[in-house]
């Protein structure tokens, strides 16, 4: 795709290209890669944590690190083949079965986000199956599946937006329920930005913070804050 003329920002059409949405943006794809290769694990964890608000559990302490060139593996092995060896251990597979399908579904894009169809001389296999059995045949199908409201995408994006607007987290039970309520309201309204602002303004109050050990009730600042509150 050729860049638009001029130096100002301009809306461009992605019709007929291999890109759509945040999952196929160069910034996201580069950020979730290593300097010398892609990282399906990083990409999968980012999607689960930031776009679905369901981060995987941290790996056990005794799990070995991923070996890029394990013994007996040919040098032209794809990342899919290397990760398959890492998932042989049951304690690794328990998390990687949910992480890897998402990351491997983005392998059409290299470490700096360029589209590709080959890796190490082999044609890339971008198909996969999510833990619930939902299959996809490419990155576009994967993105369409992940953004379904039933998978928590809308509620997670709403929670992130409210966190940014209000300046506090919405990870507790009340916050999660409120984020889902705002997301549901946005579905039935044409004014989604207004719904988001409404959700921030009438969100449940922030729980009181524990007083710092260094604060003093006799300090002028603390007194001013206390007497100025209505």
Dist. CA 193–CA 174, nearest whole Å: 22
Contact call for residues 82 and 75 (beta carbons, < 8 A): no
What's the whole-model pTM score?
0.76
> Quick one: pLDDT at residue 208?
44
**What does the pLDDT look like over 154-206, one tens digit per residue?**
888 888 887 787 777 777 777 777 777 777 776 665 555 554 454 554 555 45
Among the listed residues 67, 62, 55, the one whose alpha carbon sits nearest the alpha carbon of residue 91: 62
Domain parsing of the chain, residue ranges: 22-147, 151-201
Q: Which of 92, 77, 80 is CA-nearest to residue 40?
A: 80
What is the pLDDT averaged over residues 105-133?
94
C-alpha to C-alpha distance for 117 and 134, rounded to whole angstroms: 23
The pair of structure tokens assigned to 35 is 């300097």
How many residues in total does the chain contain? 230
Angle of helix 79-86 relative to helix 90-104, nearest 10 degrees? 160
The pLDDT value recorded for residue 191 is 52
Q: Quote helix, strand, coil % in the chain, to nearest 5.
A: 45, 5, 50
**Phi-psi domain of 96 (left: phi exceeds 0; alpha: psi -120 through 50; beta: other):** alpha
pLDDT interval class at 223 (50, 70, 90): very low
Segment 95-106, tens digit of pLDDT:
899 999 999 999
Residue 93: pLDDT band (50, 70, 90) is: confident
Q: Which of 190, 208, 194, 207 is nearest to 165 (CA)?
A: 194
Q: Is the dihedral of CA 35, 37, 43, 44 positive or negative?
A: negative
Q: What is the DSSP string of 65-102?
A: PPPSS-TT--TT--HHHHHHHHTTSHHHHHHHHHHHHH
| CA-based end-to-end distance of the chain | 57
| Residues near 12 by beta carbon (within 8 Å), at least 6 away in sequence | 1, 4
Map residue 37 onto helix, strand or coil. Answer: strand
DSSP at 110 = -
Q: Is the pLDDT of residue 136 over 70?
A: yes
Model confidence at 117: pLDDT above 80: yes
């Amino acid at each position: 795709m050729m860049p638009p003329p001029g130096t100002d920002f301009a809306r461009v059409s992605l019709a007929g290209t291999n890109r759509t949405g945040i999952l196929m943006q160069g910034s996201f794809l580069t950020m979730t890669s290593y300097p010398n290769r892609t990282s399906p694990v990083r990409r999968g964890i980012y999607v689960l944590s930031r776009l679905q608000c369901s981060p995987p559990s941290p790996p056990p302490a005794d799990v070995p690190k991923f070996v890029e060139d394990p013994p007996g593996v040919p040098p032209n092995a794809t990342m899919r083949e290397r990760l398959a060896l890492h998932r042989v251990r049951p304690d690794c597979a328990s998390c990687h079965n949910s992480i890897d399908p998402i990351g491997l579904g983005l392998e059409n894009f290299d470490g700096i986000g360029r589209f590709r169809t080959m890796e190490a001389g082999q044609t890339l296999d971008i198909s996969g199956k999510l833990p619930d059995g939902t299959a996809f045949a490419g990155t576009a199908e994967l993105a369409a599946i992940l953004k379904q409201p039933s998978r928590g995408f809308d509620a997670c994006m709403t929670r992130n937006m409210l966190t940014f607007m209000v300046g506090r987290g919405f990870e507790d039970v009340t916050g999660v329920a409120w984020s889902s309520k705002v997301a549901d309201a946005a579905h039935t309204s044409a004014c989604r930005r207004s719904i988001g602002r409404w959700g921030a303004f009438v969100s449940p109050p922030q729980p009181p913070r524990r007083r710092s050990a260094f604060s003093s009730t006799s300090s002028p600042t603390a007194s001013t804050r206390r007497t100025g509150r209505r």
